[in-house]
Chains A and B, each alone.
Chain A
Amino acid sequence: MSLPQRTQLLRWASQGRLDSRSLPAALKLVRATPTPAHWYRFLDRLALWTGLIFMASGVIFFFAYNWQAMGRYAKFGLAELLLVVTVGACWKLGLDKASGKASLLAATLLLGALLALVGQTYQTGADTWELFATWALLALPWVLIGRFSGLLLFWIGLLNLSVVLYLQTFPGRFLWVGLIFGPEEHFRVLFLLNSTLLCLWELGARRIDWLQAHWSRRILATAGGVFATGLALFAIFEFNRGDLFNLLVYLAWVAAIFLYYRHKAFDLFVLAGTVLSLIVTITALLVRLLHSHAGSSLLIGLTVIGLATAGGLWLKKVAGEMPT
């Protein structure tokens, strides 16, 4: 099934090039409409993934409720039983099947529920970041053997969350001692984390099939881009020590993204996001440099329009250069 073909047919029909009475037959001919078998497969997968995620979420909600009528051994027994069942289902079904992979994702979610139950029952005094960091650490072997990008992205989400919670608990203890601590440090650490992971992902994607899905790399690139842009905005609006460094880091990131996704692994999505990031950063720079009056607002507005036009034209040009 193909969206570009479907869109093309609809456009021809809207222009009168294709008789609208022939449109359903044309859609069917180029298989731009789902058949009963497609529907079955789609709904089967939807039921599988949502079903297991619902069940695992239900278990997490249940332990979060901390039901007093249920003893601690019964709770641990339940959590461990469900974990064993999902891991067993994964082993039985195999990781080549979607059902095996979904079971592994459910097991990973249930692992978090079990760890939360340990903290809740024994009042270990551990900080929240430790829960997520331990969860990420213990789930790592499953992520590696799971070989699917959805689970890896979930794991990266856990890693990001544990870093954010760590920084909230211990501001200023992470790598850049002596700098101004606050959201800026969060952005710097998260930028470094996500950009490093993106580099590793791209390196891995050259050899490993399951890492080649565009959408997952795009999510990671978007996360890195948001934090890089945040760093640039901090550098522009707050002139502190190290701000020039932030700006240089941002410019290096932009250059690297343009070079890599333009020439090595073409991805228009990432390029479009980077163009938007540049527009936001240049606008912020103009706001910082120009005095606030009507003329500067008009100038900035026109500059944004000009930059967006130039960016759109460039994206159109590079998209046209790529083979279909």
Chain B
Amino acid sequence: MNETSPRGLWQTLRDHSLVSGDLPPSASSPSPWYVRVMLGVAGWIGAFFLFGFVSAGLSFVLVSASAALIGGLLVSAGAGALFRVERDNDFIDQAALALSLLGQLLLIFACYETFSNDAFLLYGSIFVVELLATLAMPHFIYRVLTSAGASIALTLAMHSVGLHGLADALSAACFTLLWLQETAWVRLYSLWRPCGYGLALALFCSPASRLWGLDTLMVQRTGDLHGFMAVAPSLGNALLFAVFFGTALILLRRLRIAVTSRTGCVALASAILLAGVALFVPGLTQALLIVIIGHAACNRLLVGIGLAALAGFIGGYYYTLQTTLLIKAAWLFASGALLIVARPLARAVLPTAVTREEPADA
């Protein structure tokens, strides 16, 4: 029997008395991520045309914020009902996805109409809309999009009041918490898993938009930074550092490795070093977090997102204006050399049971 099939897996668990009874009747297995991405993109395209229909044929919905709000709530409620009622009908499911995205567009339009003069209230209200939508709508793709949207809206809201760097760190903390507690929150599987992917996307997009200057297009803010605003980037960096360090601690505990053991000390020292070096390249800490947590969750998609982010941020680092190319070159070279030197050191210090050589595959 194939151990990778659900039947073989169930049998293995039963042989070890971890489950009892027969294999539960399987619900239809979820599609691979790329099929879901295809459906999500198609959902967005459909939603834009439905929005075109509303703006041209039902234009009374867009004449005022309150009309758009009511329209958005009604459409979202209808889509939510369809998600709950028609779980096995693919057409209804896809239509509900497009409708729910239309509802979101209408609600965002209502936010824009109400708060277009105040960037904080605009992005803050969009954050609330996205957050509530994530909690209310039982749909995987929808939750990925809305949780990413909530995180990006929160970042823009905080940037609009001069608080830079804090939102990214908060998103990184939430992302880490979700993926590292997956067994503890298993009952909320259908909620946290799409949120975990959404936050990974936000962690990828947010520093990228800053690197390419897109955030300044969306948030125009003038005036000096003072008080809490002035220390916010440092606080954000400290929080990112703490998240990275905390991740190392949790992973060590999961592996039953004592912090005071030789392996534990090496792991923590490496985490401190890596997090410290990564803070100087915008986005690098987030990218490394995605890679490491992706590996912890045996999730190649997350690892892939993290590696793509890593490559993107190194490329984007070339264009940042905070410092000269000479300093950037020195940082990159020194941190690269540190990583290379760390390999034989780790091999020398760690127990042989851990460092046993395996055939290399590139």
Contacts and interface: CB of A to CB of B under 8 A. Distances in A.
B38 A311 contact: yes
B269 interface: no
Nearest to B297: A6
Contact of A62 (B57, B296, B329): B329
Interface stretch (B5-13, B71-79, B121-129): B5-13
A23 B183 contact: yes
B57 A295 contact: yes
B212 interface: no
A2 B6 CA distance: 13
B224 interface: no
B183 A308 contact: no
B226 interface: no
B298 A294 contact: no
A293 interface: yes
Contact of A22 (B18, B188, B251, B355): B18
Chain B CB within 10 Å, residue with most, of A43, A295, A306: A43
Interface in B309-362: 310, 314, 318, 324-326, 328-340, 342-343, 346-347, 350, 353-356, 358, 360-362
Interface centre among A11, A50, A324 (most CB of B within 10 A): A50
B336 A54 contact: yes
B2 interface: yes
A5 B45 contact: no
A17 B189 contact: no
A37 B189 contact: no
B46 A305 contact: yes
Given A44-B343, A48-B340, A298-B57, A30 B9 contact: yes
B135 interface: no
B328 A61 contact: yes
A244 to B, nearest CB: 25
A29 B5 contact: no
Contact of B324 (A44, A65, A302): A65
Interface string B275-300: 00000000000000001000111111
A279 interface: yes
Nearest to A268: B32
Given A275-B38, A283-B45, A305 B94 contact: yes
A54 B325 CA distance: 14
Contacts of B318: 61, 64
A209 to B, nearest CB: 11
Interface stretch (B47-55, B146-154, B156-164, B202-210): B47-55
Nearest to B340: A51
A27 B13 CA distance: 10
A36 B336 contact: no
B17 to A, nearest CB: 9
Interface SS of B by simple majority: helix
A275 B354 CA distance: 45
A272 B34 contact: yes
Nearest to A308: B42
Contacts of A215: 304
B49 A297 contact: yes
Contacts of B94: 305, 308-309, 312
Contacts of B49: 283, 297-298, 300-301, 304
B16 interface: yes
A contact residues, range:
35 or more
A313 B362 CA distance: 36
A288 interface: no
B329 A48 contact: no
B329 A272 contact: no
A259 interface: no
Contact of A65 (B48, B93, B329, B335): B329
Contact of A67 (B2, B326, B347): B326
Contacts of A273: 34, 38
Contacts of B9: 5, 8-9, 30
Contact of B4 (A5, A99, A311): A5
Contacts of A24: 183
Q: Which of A24, A64, A305, A319 has the most CB of B within 10 A?
A: A305
B255 interface: yes
Nearest to A6: B298
Contacts of B3: 30
Given A18-B18, A36-B255, A42-B295, A97 B360 contact: yes
Interface string A1-44: 11111101111111101111011111101101111110111111
Nearest to A210: B362
Interface in A38-97: 39-44, 46-48, 50-62, 64-65, 67, 96-97
Nearest to B303: A42
Given A5-B4, A150-B362, A294-B57, A33 B298 contact: yes
A295 B291 CA distance: 47
A32 B298 contact: yes
B131 interface: no
Given A273-B34, A304-B98, A316-B31, A18 B19 contact: yes
B238 interface: no
A115 interface: no
Nearest to A24: B183
A1 B39 CA distance: 28
Given A23-B186, A98-B361, A308-B46, A44 B340 contact: no
B56 A293 contact: yes
Instruction: With a 10 A CB-CB cut-off, give which of A24, A42, A99, A276 has the most chain B CB atoms.
Output: A276
A197 interface: no
B38 A51 contact: no
B318 to A, nearest CB: 6
Given A19-B19, A57-B332, A316-B31, 17 more contacts: A2-B4, A3-B298, A3-B299, A30-B9, A34-B295, A39-B251, A40-B354, A61-B318, A65-B326, A273-B34, A297-B52, A297-B57, A301-B49, A302-B46, A311-B38, A312-B90, A315-B31
22 contacts: A9-B9, A10-B182, A11-B189, A12-B19, A14-B186, A23-B183, A29-B16, A39-B255, A40-B350, A47-B342, A48-B343, A61-B329, A62-B330, A268-B32, A304-B46, A305-B46, A305-B95, A306-B91, A309-B90, A309-B93, A315-B31, A315-B35
